[in-house]
Structure 1
């Protein structure tokens, strides 16, 4: 399917509306708490000025990028096209009795709302996702003109993506942001692998699949929070805001929350009517509900989850150590990949494990902040007078790794800290169900 057709379909399948003045975007706005469906435009560093360090020159970059904004999964598409339409009519019916807090303008938007997404387009990259990739590439090139050259060569640039439409298209639009039209058309991409131990290592790690993803205990804390008094109060509050005669169940509210996220991400200038049922508090609680799942499945909940991310990390060290082509490596992957790598680097770890008893408002593990659409992680090698150093950026913001004294960290220091990741990353042994290695 061509880009033009996809864009046309996206404009047809959903009706989005101009953001009313009453829906101000402040620190407690719903759109700050959309978990992994949060738009990248809310989170990235807009300053793309060149990053210079005395006595140093940017020489190489290794970057892993979550695909841009996408369409929903097949499961969510079906629910939006059926369940959500039923909820819409229920909301409109009770409003005839002037119940709830929705304004006339908001009710008008609900009335006009529709969803006819083709299930065959599940998880396809959207027009906004294309735009995110182009602009991301332009900003990164501005920051690191020596490492990321604007003239393409398959010797100086390497592009790799997973075997998915959204990752492939993200890579293609990223190259449009880097090069002129002719060069972009001639870019060579490494063949996508059905089994990819670098970009989607967890998909084929049998031990992780059994002991983590398919283990009911992984979702214990999320389920606990789902039946907590805090969540019950949230469901009651949302139902009251809509003026409903009954309290909505968690599945329905979660569907509304996810749709709010998707439709907000798809358009810069409009807001989904499905954001109106939430205030900041209820959105924050739904965000925590999703954070619990990702913490225990993709983060610090199980040792094996982030240990297997060594498969990706060691490739970065291997490239930086050889000091040869390619100078710029760009990998296009997924939320699950990025979260596991962040955990492998000891980033955003809460002081205590997240539990379902109550929202941990002080946690650093917030997927809305660390894993929005198009989230990315970059390592930039600087050649300095006193040796090679590495600068780390998350969502284009310079960050200091926990094991480093400064943001610009000696490569040798990182190699020492991640010695096991580089030299003892035995994927077969780690992931085999026949092995006794710890999880």
Structure 2
């Protein structure tokens, strides 16, 4: 009797698994082109490119206007913002690759089109023909004018949301501003303050050299990698990303791209063209290289980057998550500084601090997002579950860590004694683990796993060769 019952169950289960495997393999459906342009040939197939996504495309926000944040019975006391640098030009390595390979690919594709090979439509071929590479080494990692403008818009919106916390006059005891030693974070800091301070006050800020540089806190991924390298521990490539790029779906995409372009292209070629598409969209709003792709192609490449981010800088890397303690510890320290109390008794407001602003990089923002318990995927992102997460996934770098990504924590006083915090990611409130709602009582926040796991934060230990997540030497 038992055997009779079990056999059909196994049969059904096997059938379901087979069906799921088939669906996984056929989730990507390449679209063959016929050389005819669609009704709107210059519409971008996608604007989501992982960490190369513009803030405007990630959030839909592109004005200076925002409503004042009103919480009945509460008044804001302190604003803390951690912000990734804004839109930038490519780095040295990418510039070298672009200059060396993209003009070659351009000529190969155009030559193929002339002899009737490939299936690109006339408008897309013409756009590619007009393209000229005109970036040079002087532009390396330089922030763009569009990024400066976008940073100013973000600053203006925060000022409208919390007008009393970003005053137009600069005083050293009201503002704390920190950046890394890289120009792109410092330039982002100045762009933010330019939208907040009076012109003469910004000059005063620069004259007093009030912008602090703190690579240990705001560039900890790089400093940790350097320390580990000296101990013989080298950074490894994402295994899941590598598996995914070798998958049937990506290989199908490569074959489709080769037929479409009339040229046999490698995975590196396709990723390079997609990266140029991303940078040019960020810098000027469009790129002829984007038109070589369909949305489904770019979705695959975006997921590949998400796999790398998730595995290397977020939940797949316990060391990276642990290092987020530096930023959580800084938040708690600034709250203590504002309150000047042990946080176990009554609060007394002895300091004038209103805003603490920190300007950092993508890797640090990914670590912070993971440390806060945001974007965790169950099951984790894997090379094998693209179809499950193709349209919706908890971790999507395009939404979580675009250019100018920001996390804000606002401290409120409600009534005579109640203190609460409001966490905001990319200008949307988020619910932190251990909190009863998005508007979190301070005592709940301080008791949360986010804060408790950040106590006794020791980057020297975390960045030692023998460290493991338990904190005990291996």
Q: TM-score, normalised by structure 2?
A: 0.82
3-state SS, counterpart of residue 92 of structure 1: helix
Q: How does 1:316-331 map to 2 (within 5 A)?
A: 316-323=331-338, 324-331=351-358
Please, which of 159, 162, 174 is the counterpart of residue 180 of structure 2? 162
The answer to whether residue 248 in structure 2 is matched with residue 225 in structure 1 is no
* Shift in alpha-carbon separation, 1:48–1:209, aligned structure 2, 3 A: farther
* Shift in alpha-carbon separation, 1:314–1:232, aligned structure 2, 3 A: same
Please, which of 440, 455, 458 is the counterpart of residue 409 of structure 1? 440
Aligned to 2:211: 190
3-state SS, counterpart of residue 223 of structure 1: helix
* Shift in alpha-carbon separation, 1:200–1:131, aligned structure 2, 3 A: same
Whole-angstrom CA distance in 2 between matches of 1:45 and 1:150:
27
Whole-angstrom CA distance in 1 between matches of 2:270 and 2:225:
33
* Shift in alpha-carbon separation, 1:107–1:189, aligned structure 2, 3 A: farther
Aligned to 1:353: 380
Aligned to 2:269: 252
Please, which of 256, 272, 291 is the counterpart of residue 237 of structure 1? 256
Aligned to 1:294: 309
Please, which of 197, 202, 218 is the counterpart of residue 221 of structure 2? 202
Tell me how far 1:212 sits from its aligned partner.
12
Whole-angstrom CA distance in 2 between matches of 1:223 and 1:315:
36
Q: How does 1:379-394 map to 2 (within 5 A)?
A: 379-385=409-415, 387-394=418-425
Does structure 2 retain, via aligned residues, the 8 Å contact 1:213–1:297? no
The answer to whether residue 338 in structure 2 is matched with residue 308 in structure 1 is no
Count of equivalent residues: 409
Aligned to 1:127: 145
Aligned to 2:297: 282
Aligned to 2:35: none
Unaligned runs of 5+ in 1: 1-19
Whole-angstrom CA distance in 2 between matches of 1:380 and 1:197:
24
Tell me how far 1:147 sits from its aligned partner.
1.7
Please, which of 401, 422, 430 is the counterpart of residue 462 of structure 2? 430
Does structure 2 retain, via aligned residues, the 8 Å contact 1:208–1:304? no
* Shift in alpha-carbon separation, 1:281–1:434, aligned structure 2, 3 A: closer
Q: TM-score, normalised by structure 1?
A: 0.88
Does structure 1 retain, via aligned residues, the 8 Å contact 2:41–2:124? no
Unaligned runs of 5+ in 2: 1-38, 339-350
Q: How does 1:2-401 map to 2 (within 5 A)?
A: 21-24=40-43, 29-31=45-47, 33-44=48-59, 46=61, 48-187=66-205, 188-193=209-214, 196-205=215-224, 209=228, 214-216=234-236, 218-244=237-263, 246=264, 248-267=265-284, 270-323=285-338, 324-359=351-386, 360-361=389-390, 362-385=392-415, 387-401=418-432
Aligned to 1:7: none
Q: Which runs of 4+ in 1 moved over 6 A?
A: none
Greater C-alpha Rg: 2
Whole-angstrom CA distance in 2 between matches of 1:419 and 1:81:
46
1:82-129 deviation digits (Å, cap 9, x = unpaired): 200100011111111334343322222211111132224311111111
Does structure 1 retain, via aligned residues, the 8 Å contact 2:431–2:438? yes
* Shift in alpha-carbon separation, 1:133–1:207, aligned structure 2, 3 A: closer
The answer to which of 95-104 and 177-186 deviates more is 95-104
Whole-angstrom CA distance in 1 between matches of 2:393 and 2:334:
34
Whole-angstrom CA distance in 1 between matches of 2:453 and 2:354:
22
Whole-angstrom CA distance in 2 between matches of 1:212 and 1:35:
30
1:174-218 deviation digits (Å, cap 9, x = unpaired): 11111121111211433324xx221112222259845998343x5
Whole-angstrom CA distance in 2 between matches of 1:249 and 1:286:
14
